[in-house]
Structure 1
Amino acid sequence: RFCCLCFLYTLIALLCLLLIAAIAACIFYVFYHPKHPTFAVTSIRTTAFNLTTTDPAGFSRLKSHLDFTLTAKNPNKKNIVFVYEPFSAAVEASRGNVDVGNATLPGFTHVAGNTTILRGTVISDPTRDFDSDTVAPLRADLAKKNGFPLTVEVKTMVQVQLGKLKTKRVGIRVTCDGIRGFQPKNATSKTPTPGTTTNAKCKVDLRIKIWKFTF
């Protein structure tokens, strides 16, 4: 009987602790109401974008130079801080997934309510060959007057800090579509040609767990 009573009291104590933890987690969520960071590509400019055929087999090479601006916002009003490691960025032509270039953006600490602007430059690999099927959609887009579609993707690791509480570093991926670039009218000009980002939308893939809540 004594063993049964000990087991019962231990079980009740554990249930009470779980209940207290659940109540504390609910209070935390109601008080802080944590939100994902948001990102947006707010500008893109093209200095060079030339697709040339390199041999009779139909392989092509891309010479590109693009500058883009990525705006990051921490929408949380309470003291929720995102700590980012350096970002790896990649730009692709949306149709056919033609690699336009890569860049590295600096990491930073993102305090609540803050907006941070990052600028990157991507330059293509001039020795990379693309087969005719891969570049066919891009060639068709380059012939149009409304520009060619681009996708910007950035990846990094992020840690969330809430006072002394720190989460493990987790991966975050941001994919931005709806961007259109334009070829410079003068191939020898060094003046960048602005693209359009009015229809750009960014999707943030991030799952952070604080206690029992994932956001």
Structure 2
Amino acid sequence: MAEKIHLNTDHTTGNPKFPPTKSQLRPLYHPQALRTHRNRNHNRSRCCSCCLWLTFLLILILTIAAAACGVFYVMYSPHPPSFTVSSIKVSRFDITSGTSDNEINTRFNFTLTARNPNDDVTFLFDSVSVKAVSKEVEIGDGRMPAFVLDEKNVTWLRAVVVGNGRVVDDDSEVKLDLKKKRLVMVSVEFDTKVKLKIGRMETKKVKIRVVCKGIRFAPHGGKGVVAADTSDVKCDVDVRTKISRWTI
């Protein structure tokens, strides 16, 4: 018995509907989507190229700057300034009598000599903070005004360091030195900022510390003025100059 085939009929036209063929089931071709995909790849490629060129230019600029700084440093070879303590006069260094025996009073007048060994470099110093220390105890402080140290020049700086009512412990060696009138050892610290100048070029300000050790004197009980011995004083300079940070 023959099998019956049922065909769908289009009610509007009356023609039978046949199932779609394989060619009709294939996806339609969309040229616009393909162009969009290609454009995205092209934009991504352009971004990568720009990043590579920017990286290359940055490396080139840094290389040129480093080479220029190296040549500049070799040409000028700036050396840090040197400092020496010319004289120190002690007008007061005693323990006050009264309610407390642990209060030390001091007064120093000193002269500091600064030398610039460079032919083409000028040092411009800010105001200087001064601190006197004995056996790790701060016994006085003071300040010096800002100053300029020209090429191959020597400058003398004067300052007063004072300490009133500085409290120390009972077992402090400073107190024992005073009571037993032993030789007192003192170091002086100078803290400031400085910048270098060569022609129209200047560096950024950097911190500098000068520590002068080896000052010694005998306590005099608050009578008269005593000149401290500075023959063995040595001043160390800690300056961190960044030659690469020049401004015009």
SS in 2 for 1:123: strand
**Superposed displacement of residue 89, structure 1:** 0.7
SS in 2 for 1:124: strand
Q: Which runs of 5+ in 1 are unaligned?
A: none
Kept after mapping to 1: 8 A contact 2:122/2:198: yes
Q: 1:44 aligns with which of 61, 70, 88?
A: 88
Kept after mapping to 2: 8 A contact 1:46/1:182: no
Kept after mapping to 1: 8 A contact 2:114/2:156: yes
Are residues 10 and 124 of structure 1, via their aligned partners in 2, closer, same or farther at CA, if it must alter by over 3 Å? closer
**Superposed displacement of residue 76, structure 1:** 1.4
Instruction: State the distance in 1 between where 2:201 and 2:194 align.
Output: 14
Which amino acid counterpart does residue 73 of structure 2 have in structure 1? Y
**Superposed displacement of residue 47, structure 1:** 1.2
Give TM-score scaled by structure 2 length: 0.70
Alignment of 1:55-74 (within 5 A): 55=99, 59-74=101-116
Q: Give the aligned partner of residue 116 of structure 1.
A: 155
Query: RMSD between aligned alpha carbons?
Result: 2.7
Q: Give the aligned partner of residue 139 of structure 1.
A: 175
**Superposed displacement of residue 179, structure 1:** 0.9
Instruction: State the distance in 1 between where 2:52 and 2:163 align.
Output: 68
Instruction: State the distance in 2 between where 1:212 and 1:105 align.
Output: 27
Q: Give the aligned partner of residue 180 of structure 1.
A: 216
Which amino acid counterpart does residue 170 of structure 1 have in structure 2? V
Alignment of 1:3-82 (within 5 A): 16-52=60-96, 54-55=98-99, 59-77=101-119, 79-82=120-123
Instruction: State the distance in 1 between where 2:170 and 2:97 align.
Output: 9
Kept after mapping to 2: 8 A contact 1:86/1:156: yes
2:200 aligned with 1:158:
no
Instruction: State the distance in 2 between where 1:175 and 1:156 align.
Output: 12
Which amino acid counterpart does residue 113 of structure 2 have in structure 1? T
Alignment of 1:94-113 (within 5 A): 95-97=135-137, 99-113=138-152
Number of residue pairs the alignment of both structures matches: 201
**Superposed displacement of residue 141, structure 1:** 2.7
Q: Which has the higher contact order (CA 8 A, sep 6+)?
A: 1
**Superposed displacement of residue 132, structure 1:** 0.9
Q: Which runs of 5+ in 2 are unaligned?
A: 1-41
SS in 1 for 2:177: helix
**Superposed displacement of residue 114, structure 1:** 1.1
Give TM-score scaled by structure 1 length: 0.79
Instruction: State the distance in 1 between where 2:68 and 2:217 align.
Output: 49
Instruction: State the distance in 1 between where 2:184 and 2:121 align.
Output: 38
Question: Which structure would you say has the larger Rg?
Answer: 2
Which amino acid counterpart does residue 106 of structure 2 have in structure 1? S
Kept after mapping to 2: 8 A contact 1:177/1:202: yes
**Superposed displacement of residue 195, structure 1:** 0.7
Instruction: State the distance in 1 between where 2:58 and 2:126 align.
Output: 39
**Superposed displacement of residue 123, structure 1:** 2.0
Q: Give the aligned partner of residue 129 of structure 1.
A: 167
